[in-house]
Amino acid sequence: MPEVVIGKVSDFFARPVVAGIELTGALKLGDKIHIKGHTTDMELTVDSMQIDNENVTEAKSGDSIGIKISDRARRGDTVYKVTD
Give the pLDDT score at 64: 98
**Quick check: 19 and 11 in contact, CB under 8 A?**
yes
**CA count, 13 A, side-chain hemisphere, 32:** 8
Question: Which superfamily does 3-82 belong to?
Answer: Translation factors (2.40.30.10)
| pTM (whole model) above 0.85 | yes
**Quick check: 18 and 24 in contact, CB under 8 A?**
no
pLDDT in tens, 35-78: 999 999 999 999 999 999 999 999 999 999 999 998 999 999 99
Provide the 10 A C-beta neighbour count for residue 32.
Answer: 15
Confidence of residue 84 (pLDDT cuts 50, 70, 90): confident
d(CA 21, CA 78): 9
